Amino acid sequence: MRREILTAAGVLAAVSMTLCGCGTVTEGKAAAEGKAAAEREPVMENRPSAESGDVVESGPAQAAGGNTFSVMGDSISTFQGYNPVGYYAFFPENGDVADVADTWWQQVADDLELTLLANGSSSASTVAGDSTGTDDPQCACNELRTGALSGPEGECPDRIVVYLGANDMIQSVPLGDNDGTRPVEEGEVTAFSDAYTLMLDKLQVKYPSAEIYCCTLHPMGNYGTETPYVEFVNGIGLTAQDYGKVIAGIAEGRGLPVIDLYDCGIRVENLQEMTSDGVHPTAAGMHCIAGAVEEALSCR
């Protein structure tokens, strides 16, 4: 059953360029799709789910922490009409996910009978950037993005699922060495670990009662020669797994639960089935992501 989405305000974006061959950054299919998403007009309307008004029932699969959640992500978590005004959506105009019911977050809402308060996701957004911005949806550690996860009446979500970092990896943002405990000065934040730490600092202040879940990145690939895809290696020699390890380390150091999407069932060997371009999941890939998120939310 489709559950009610109370607002469209909130989280993943994933690709602006892709690797063709080992270690060489060139434009490809993913680059074209990411560019198209970024250049489109911002989403201008909110749209409720098909069965708006349904009462959310508690069920045995639900986590005990409450019935609401919000999402903070990039293109992988977008869908036209379900993200805040001014944000950029990748699906369904791009990629192979044409029905909102196939998105990972709608599957989570339906399967666990949860209410999505806000989906604060914007295509092509990074975590790093100007942390002081109040009108730029493309930097996840800024005031705009971290402040857009409440419900329509200011309700604090019971849970926040953060699924970000793909574009930082693709754009070769340096990892840095922040373990999640070192304070970060506001301004232009250029290291991924600093930006991720600052983002979590802000989320924990703005939503003190929310349980925050941090997702690692699923494997990402580029078109290979002898195989459909090879592992995506960015301009500084790092992969999705490297950025995921930083995410996990920061989250664990702060006592936050980690959702390991690197082992969710999407593998370099099956990227042709699980993604449309080596990065953006198909319905099959979304199902793998949803399963990992549901397992994490159900166990706590």
Q: How far is CA 35 from the centre of its chain?
A: 18
pLDDT in tens, 60-73: 344 446 899 999 99
Q: Which residues make Cβ contacts (< 8 Å) with residue 112, sequence separation at least 6?
A: 59, 61, 62, 63, 294, 297, 298
Whether residue 10 is predicted with pLDDT greater than 60 in this model: the reply is no
Residue 9: inside a domain: no
Q: How many domains does the chain have?
A: 1
Residue 6: inside a domain: no
Residue 2: inside a domain: no
Residue 13: inside a domain: no
Alpha-carbon span 46 to 56, nearest angstrom = 20
Q: Which residues make Cβ contacts (< 8 Å) with residue 12, sequence separation at least 6?
A: 71, 72, 73, 74, 75, 76, 77, 78, 121, 125, 163, 164, 166
Per-residue confidence (pLDDT) for residue 225, from 0 to 100: 62
Are the C-beta atoms of 219 and 266 separated by less than 8 Å?
Answer: yes
Q: Which of 118, 164, 161 is CA-nearest to residue 141? A: 164
**For residue 223, what pLDDT band results from cuts at 50, 70 and 90?**
confident
Query: In which domain, by residue range, is 112 found?
Result: 18-298
Whether residue 102 is predicted with pLDDT greater than 70 in this model: the reply is yes
Residue 215: inside a domain: yes
Residue 107: inside a domain: yes
**What is the domain-level CATH number for residue 212?**
3.40.50.1110
Q: Which of 216, 184, 210, 213 is CA-nearest to residue 197? A: 184
Per-residue confidence (pLDDT) for residue 229, from 0 to 100: 93
Are the C-beta atoms of 46 and 94 separated by less than 8 Å?
Answer: no
Residue 78: inside a domain: yes
Residue 8: inside a domain: no
Per-residue confidence (pLDDT) for residue 51, from 0 to 100: 36
Q: What angle do CA 214, 161, 284 make, to 5 degrees?
A: 95
pLDDT in tens, 18-50: 333 222 222 333 333 333 333 333 333 333 333
Per-residue confidence (pLDDT) for residue 234, from 0 to 100: 97
Q: Supply the DSSP symbol for 29.
A: H
